[in-house]
Amino acid sequence: MTVRNVPTTEFPTINDALAESQPYDTIRVGEGTFPESLNIDIKGLRLIGEGKGKTILDGRDLGLTDGIIIDESFVTIQNLTVQNFNDSGICVEASNNIIHKVGILNNLNHGIELQSTAPKTIIIECEINENVGNGINVDSDDNYIIQCKMIHNLNGVFLDEENNIISCCLAQQNRQDGFIIDGNVNYIISNAVINNSGNGINETNEDSNFYALNKSLGNSGNGFIIGNFTTVFENISKDNGLNGMIGGDDARIIKNIVTGNKGNGILMEDRDSVIDRNIVTNNTLAGISITRDNIAVRSNCIKGNSPDILVEVGITGCTFADNDCETSIPPSLCERNDAIDVQVGESIQQAINDAQDGFQINVSKGIFHEKINIPNSKDRLRIVGAGV
């Protein structure tokens, strides 16, 4: 495992050092601008610069080429900048690689491109700005994108596969969306998507994704567009140009803050979903607008909207319980309480059996000596105790 330093008399260029390198060697690159592109096909190689903006790969005069192609596994790229290439800044074609503290700027395709042959890539603490394509374009599974900034790209992240994690990232002022999620079973946690020209987070008819603790603020489009069987938990959607959230089929929208959006707070365009414990305030149109059947709306604070709850004519199967709101169309939805109260000495199981889909069951303080079973035939029930 040899360490080679660039630039030196022996290795004036990075490619000179690559030509002599073996698996698991290290190339350390000093400060300077290096007008070269790299094809790394050496397993376990480490390429380490002096820092973003100090060690620079510049492709301005190199024609149509990616900045770095990674074509082997367990490669690490760290502490450098890749800029001005006529294709992608970094193109990853193999699995289990790490891109750490890299700046990827002003490339004519994507900043970082993960091809379908490149699962299990870790991208951490990178700054991916001013690229013509997407900041990060993901066509593979099981990747980790952590603590990155994507600013002034086409989209911040375009994610097209499954089991990926995006966490603690910033997507700001991109020309379209902050994140486009076009795959299933992905985990989008603790990110900020701010002032993008399209939507904050846009899930394109996929399902079973999980969104928690994200902030979608001041985007020109919608704050969140979510697909089917998706959970949206403890996010903030504020001051977006259209709706705060648009919900899909079998969605779970729980404990979010949705405020100050220019359209509806939460717009439900599909059926069989749950909206529980959200704060939905001061949106220009309806706080919660329901356009499909079988939506359960429970324990929300919905105020200052026009109206707070709107249910289109002909919609059936919706339930409402324990909401703090003032106005609704049709009238009296704020006062409606589709709930069953269970006192000590009564049966929780009997309440479950009697409840309609979407009902809330309120269980009083006390000890209940029974085993309960919620059958598959009961959908969208909520059972609430008196406390721990």
Q: What's the number of CA atoms in the CB half-sphere (13 Å) around residue 156?
A: 34
Q: Which of 314, 309, 300 shows the shortest CA–CA distance to 382?
A: 300
Separation CA 328–CA 311 (nearest Å): 8
- How much of the chain, in percent, has pLDDT values that exceed 70? 100
Predicted pLDDT at 206 = 78
Q: What is the pLDDT of residues 208-263, one digit of tens each?
A: 999 999 999 999 999 999 999 999 999 999 999 999 999 999 999 999 999 999 99
Q: Is the pLDDT of residue 205 over 80?
A: no
Q: Do 294 and 380 touch, CB atoms closer than 8 A?
A: yes
- Residue 168's pLDDT band, with cuts at 50, 70 and 90, is very high
Q: Which of 207, 216, 215, 256 shows the shortest CA–CA distance to 232?
A: 256
Predicted pLDDT at 207 = 86
Q: Is the pLDDT of residue 283 over 90?
A: yes
Separation CA 44–CA 355 (nearest Å): 59
Predicted pLDDT at 211 = 98
Tell me the whole-structure pTM to 2 decimals: 0.96
Structure tokens at 334: 């704020």
Domains delineated in the chain: 1-175 (2.160.20.10), 339-384 (no CATH)
Separation CA 349–CA 345 (nearest Å): 12
Separation CA 112–CA 105 (nearest Å): 10
- Residue 199's pLDDT band, with cuts at 50, 70 and 90, is very high
Q: Is the pLDDT of residue 77 over 90?
A: yes
- How much of the chain, in percent, has pLDDT values that exceed 90? 98
Q: Do 156 and 193 touch, CB atoms closer than 8 A?
A: yes
Residue where the block lists tokens 């949106």: 283
Write down the mean pLDDT value for the chain: 97
Q: Do 222 and 240 touch, CB atoms closer than 8 A?
A: yes
Q: Is the pLDDT of residue 275 over 80?
A: yes
Residue where the block lists tokens 């099981």: 142
305 exposed, middle or buried (CB, 10 Å; 0-12, 13-18, 19+)? buried
- Residue 84's pLDDT band, with cuts at 50, 70 and 90, is very high
Q: Is the pLDDT of residue 367 over 80?
A: yes
How far lies 68's CA from each of 27, 114, 126, 157, 325, in Å? 14, 12, 15, 19, 55
Q: Do 214 and 190 touch, CB atoms closer than 8 A?
A: yes
Could you tell me which residues come within 8 angstroms of residue 181 by beta carbon, excluding any fewer than 6 positions away? 159, 188, 201, 202, 203, 204, 206, 209, 227
Q: What is the mean pLDDT of residues 323-346?
A: 97
3-state secondary structure the chain: CCEEEECCCCCCCHHHHHHHCCCCCEEEECCEEECCCEEECCCCCEEECCCCCCEEEECCCCCCCCCEEECCCCCEEEEEEEECCCCCCEEECCCCCEEEEEEEECCCCCCEEECCCCCCCEEECCEEECCCCCCEEECCCCCEEECCEEECCCCCEEECCCCCEEECCEEECCCCCCEEECCCCCEEECCEEECCCCCCEEECCCECCEEECCEEECCCCCCEECCECCEEECCEEECCCCCCEEECCCCEEECCEEECCCCCCEEECCCCEEEECCEEECCCCCCEEECCCCEEEECCEEECCCCCEEECCCCCCCEEECCEECCEECCCCCCCCCEEEECCCCCHHHHHHHCCCCCEEEECCCCCCCCCCCCCCCCCCEEECCCC
184 exposed, middle or buried (CB, 10 Å; 0-12, 13-18, 19+)? middle
How far lies 255's CA from each of 19, 339, 380, in Å? 55, 20, 16
Residue where the block lists tokens 């305030």: 281
